[in-house]
Structure formats: structure tokens, C-alpha cells
């Protein structure tokens, strides 16, 4: 029994209870010695507070009762000389008892509220999907670690550096953005292969000193997702590049085949003319001239294709939009003749010169013309395309390509400029999207509307003068058929 009592006294609560009882006895003793003249009863609050805070409410109430009894015993021999009636003695003892017990209950409520607040904060910290730990300012001694950190790591990063590989400094926040000046690092756990984002900053601790707060967030899933997205983009890029190469090969075969067939036809005509008894040299010269023109045209097709395929800095210069429109029509001359489609050139006079990349804008017009031509392919034969230029109201010029084809359905019209949207069997769905990018890069605008005779009309504007300077590198036409196949019809 004695041994058990001694063991209790060696505990924290036992020492607090013993100290409180001794304090009550000392206050009572000195109160008796001074004859209650110094009013030492207020000092009983010290052992009551000690018992309440260290052991609990029951111990605090017990200390309050013991304090009142000690006061009554110490003061009893002299109370008849202090009060005019004994009732005042018992009244003061009752008031002291009530105050002492209220003090104990209030102190217990305060301690309980603080404990609940601490528990709520710990639950929040333990529930976060990040490892949180605190070390002293030198980073040598851990002061706190939440449950997630203990489960994921177990020890501080600084104490197990061989386990982690610092990948790179991701970001450093400016002092204006955070009072603690947090900085960020990516770490890789060499044991598990997982990636973490370590955030480190200085904060004040409860004793006023500066400590290091570290937050360790697992970013493995996000890094893997980013890697998968990059792989997916690479696959799409490779697939698109393969499709573009196939389109270019098909285009070159189709485009070059026409001038080559024309050259063969003119050569046959020359042979036939020269085989006569009296050859007509003038007609032979004319046929050879036409053959040469077709050879030059084939060379121009190859040069134009190469200029579309390579990424280059734009050649911006003041140019005549009417001349660009004429050249664009000449590029489709044979296809227009084959389909019996007539192009009406409605070109305004005295238009201002506009600054643009002539090759790219020419290809935009070719693209729009080819779309109109595709809309009037067999089983329909013949048709009319109007190529119109006019001065824009806000300055610059407006170019319009209007056909009398079947028009664009409303269900398709809303998606005309959506990348990879196409209604063609062999289309890529990039033509109009890239055309719009080219025009917008020149600070212009491309849109579509219903044609004058029920077909489709496409309009674009080019501002006059440098205006809003285009970027140093304009969009190229590598993603579309360079003849101008678009994605709408």
C-alpha cells in the first residue's frame, strides 16, 4: 500500500496534488499568523488552479472545498473579534466556496475548449492528403509531424537524404506574395519511386522562436498524367504528320500530273506537226512555248509546296490584293476548266496596299476557292464562283469568295472552324482552322455567311498598313492540304 502511494506521488498528477495541498496549508498557516489582517484567502486560487489544470474538474472542486475548510479553521478563533455577528463569518466562507468552485469550473471549461481546439486542429492536419512536419530553425530536430507524414515517410527528409533525389527547384515565391517566403522543390523517393513536392518556409512557433514548416505533397499521379498527356500528344502529332505526308504526296501527284500530261500532249502535237511534208514551224513554236509554260507551272507547284511545308519567318510587305487574287485563280485554272466552273473576278479599283505575307494569304484564297469548287463537283457540273475585293469600312480591304453551290447546313456551320472536324472522306479538318489563324495573325478576321444565290460566302479582312504587327512567325499551312482542302463540306 505504501509502495503504491509512493508510485502515485512520483507521477505528474501526484506531484501536482501534493504541491496543491502543501500550498493550501501554507496559505492557511500564514493567514492564521497574520490574524486575517492581510487577507491571504485570494491565494487559495493558486492551488485550485493547479489541481484543476493538472488533474481535472473534480480535483479542482476538491481543492476549493479544502481551501474553504482551511480558511475556516485558520480564522475561526478570531472571527468573533472581527464580525459583529457570527452570520457574517459563515457568509464570507460561503462566498469564498462559491467563488473558488466557479473559478475551478471556468478554468476547466477553458482547458477543455483549448484541448478541443487542439484536437480539431490535429484532426485537420492528420486528414490532409499532405505530409506536414515542423523542425527547428536549423532543420535538425523534428518538433511535429502529422499522421500522413509518418505513414508516407516516417522520418524527416533531412535525416534521410540518401532516400530522396532532389529533381529541380520548381518555383520560388516573392516575399510580397507570402510573409514566410516559401520555396518549392521536387523530390523523388528512390525506395518507392514516388514524386513529392516539398514546400518549405519559416513560421513563428508557440514559444516565439522561428521554425521551419515543411509540407510534403505526393504529386506522382499528376506527373504520370502529364507524362501520359505528352505521349498522347506525340502520338497525335505523329499520326497527323503521317496523314499530312500522305496528303502532300497525293496532292503533288495530282497537281504535277496535270502539267506533265499537258507537256506530253504538246510534245505529241510538235511531233505530229514536224512529221508533215511541210511542217508549220510557227505552230510548233507555239506548242513548245505552251509546253515550257507547263514545265514552269510544275516547278512553281513544287516551290509553293515547299514554302508551305517549312516553318519560316513571314515576309511582310505592302502588296496589291487584286494581284494576289488573280494569281490564286491561276493556280486552280485547270481544275476550274475540268469542272466547267467559271470564276467571276469582281475586283475593286484603287484599293489601298495592305501589308501581309503574300504566299500565305494567296494560299488562304486558294483554299477558299477550292472549297467552293468542291461544293460544285459531280454529279453537278458547272457553276459560278465570285471572287470579290472591296475596301473595308474600318480601313484595309475585304476579300470575299461566294459560290452558288448547295450551301452549308446549320448543323455544320457551327463547327466550321473546329480543328479536325470534316465531312470529307479524306479530309484532315484543318484547312479553315489554319486559314483563320493566318488571317487573325495579320490582325484580320475570317467569317462565313449565306451566299447571294443560296450558296456559301466566306469573307476575310486585312487591315491597312502595319497596324497591329503580326507575330514574328505566322502559322504555317503544314497541317492542311496545301491545295486548300478545308473541313466544312
Local confidence band at 217 (pLDDT 50, 70, 90 cut-offs) = confident
Q: Are 453 and 434 in contact (CB under 8 A)?
A: no
* Measured CA angle at 299 (ends 293, 300), to 5 deg: 85
3-state helix, strand, coil in the chain (%, to 5): 55, 20, 30
pTM of the model: 0.40
C-alpha cell at position 223? 506527373
Q: Are 186 and 166 in contact (CB under 8 A)?
A: yes
Q: Which range has the worst mean pLDDT, 101-110, 176-185, 193-202, 216-225?
A: 176-185
Cell 484599293 sits on residue: 351
Q: What is the mean pLDDT of residues 445-461?
A: 84
**Is the model's pLDDT at 366 over the cut of 60?**
yes
Q: How much is the pLDDT for 489? A: 44
Q: How much is the pLDDT for 28? A: 84
**Is the model's pLDDT at 397 over the cut of 90?**
yes
Q: Are 187 and 206 in contact (CB under 8 A)?
A: no
Three-state SS at 195: strand
**Is the model's pLDDT at 200 over the cut of 70?**
yes
449/420: higher pLDDT: 449
**Percentage of the chain exceeding pLDDT 90:** 10
Pairing of β 383-391 and β 341-347: parallel
Spatial separation of the C-alpha atoms in residues 152 and 187, rounded to whole Å: 13
Q: Are 214 and 149 in contact (CB under 8 A)?
A: no
214, 218, 217, 215: which is closest to 135 by C-alpha?
214
**Is the model's pLDDT at 171 over the cut of 60?**
no
Cell 492528403 sits on residue: 129
Q: Are 304 and 482 in contact (CB under 8 A)?
A: yes
426/118: higher pLDDT: 118
pLDDT tens track for 306-342: 766 664 556 788 889 999 999 888 877 767 877 788 8
Amino acid at each position: 500500500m505504501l509502495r503504491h502511494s509512493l508510485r502515485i506521488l512520483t507521477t505528474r498528477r501526484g506531484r501536482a496534488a501534493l504541491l496543491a495541498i502543501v500550498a493550501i496549508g501554507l496559505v492557511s498557516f500564514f493567514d492564521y499568523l497574520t490574524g486575517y489582517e492581510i487577507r491571504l484567502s485570494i491565494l487559495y486560487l493558486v492551488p485550485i488552479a493547479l489541481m484543476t489544470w493538472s488533474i481535472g474538474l473534480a480535483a479542482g472542486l476538491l481543492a476549493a472545498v479544502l481551501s474553504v475548510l482551511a480558511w475556516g479553521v485558520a480564522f475561526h478563533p478570531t472571527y468573533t473579534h472581527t464580525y459583529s455577528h457570527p452570520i457574517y463569518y459563515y457568509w464570507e466562507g460561503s462566498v469564498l466556496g462559491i467563488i473558488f468552485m466557479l473559478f475551478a469550473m471556468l478554468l476547466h471549461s477553458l482547458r477543455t475548449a483549448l484541448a478541443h481546439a487542439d484536437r480539431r486542429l490535429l484532426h485537420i492536419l492528420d486528414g490532409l492528403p499532405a505530409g506536414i512536419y515542423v523542425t527547428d530553425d536549423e532543420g535538425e530536430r523534428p518538433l511535429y509531424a502529422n499522421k500522413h507524414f509518418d505513414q508516407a515517410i516516417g522520418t524527416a527528409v533531412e535525416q534521410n537524404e540518401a532516400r530522396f533525389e532532389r529533381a529541380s527547384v520548381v518555383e520560388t515565391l516573392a516575399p510580397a506574395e507570402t510573409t514566410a517566403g516559401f520555396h518549392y522543390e521536387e523530390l523523388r523517393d528512390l525506395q518507392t519511386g514516388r514524386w513529392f513536392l516539398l514546400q518549405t518556409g519559416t513560421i513563428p512557433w508557440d514559444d516565439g522562436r522561428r521554425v521551419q514548416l515543411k509540407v510534403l505533397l505526393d504529386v506522382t499521379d499528376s506527373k504520370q498524367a502529364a507524362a501520359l498527356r505528352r505521349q498522347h500528344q506525340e502520338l497525335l502529332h505523329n499520326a497527323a504528320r503521317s496523314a499530312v505526308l500522305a496528303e502532300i504526296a497525293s496532292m503533288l501527284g495530282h497537281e504535277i500530273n496535270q502539267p506533265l500530261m499537258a507537256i506530253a500532249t504538246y510534245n505529241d502535237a510538235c511531233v505530229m506537226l514536224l512529221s508533215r511534208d511541210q511542217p508549220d514551224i510557227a505552230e510548233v513554236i507555239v506548242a513548245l512555248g505552251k509546253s515550257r509554260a507547263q514545265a514552269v507551272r510544275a516547278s512553281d507547284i513544287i516551290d509553293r509546296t515547299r514554302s508551305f511545308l517549312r516553318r519560316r519567318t513571314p515576309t511582310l510587305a505592302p502588296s496589291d490584293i487584286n494581284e494576289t487574287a488573280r494569281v490564286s485563280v491561276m493556280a486552280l485554272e485547270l481544275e476550274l476548266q475540268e469542272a466547267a466552273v467559271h470564276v467571276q473576278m469582281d475586283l475593286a479599283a484603287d484599293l489601298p496596299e495592305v501589308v501581309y505575307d503574300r504566299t500565305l494569304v494567296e494560299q488562304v484564297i486558294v483554299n477558299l476557292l477550292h472549297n467552293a469548287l468542291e461544293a460544285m463537283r459531280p454529279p453537278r457540273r458547272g457553276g459560278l464562283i465570285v471572287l470579290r475585293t472591296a475596301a473595308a469600312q474600318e480601313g484595309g480591304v475585304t476579300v470575299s469568295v461566294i459560290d452558288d453551290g448547295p450551301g452549308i447546313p446549320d448543323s455544320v456551320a457551327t463547327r466550321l472552324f473546329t480543328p479536325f472536324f470534316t465531312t470529307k472522306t479524306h479530309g484532315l479538318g484543318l484547312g479553315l482552322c489554319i486559314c483563320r489563324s493566318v488571317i487573325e495573325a495579320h490582325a484580320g478576321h475570317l467569317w462565313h455567311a449565306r451566299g447571294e444565290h443560296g450558296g456559301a460566302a466566306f469573307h476575310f479582312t486585312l487591315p491597312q498598313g502595319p497596324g497591329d504587327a503580326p507575330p514574328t512567325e505566322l502559322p504555317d499551312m503544314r497541317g492542311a492540304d496545301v491545295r486548300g482542302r478545308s473541313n466544312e463540306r
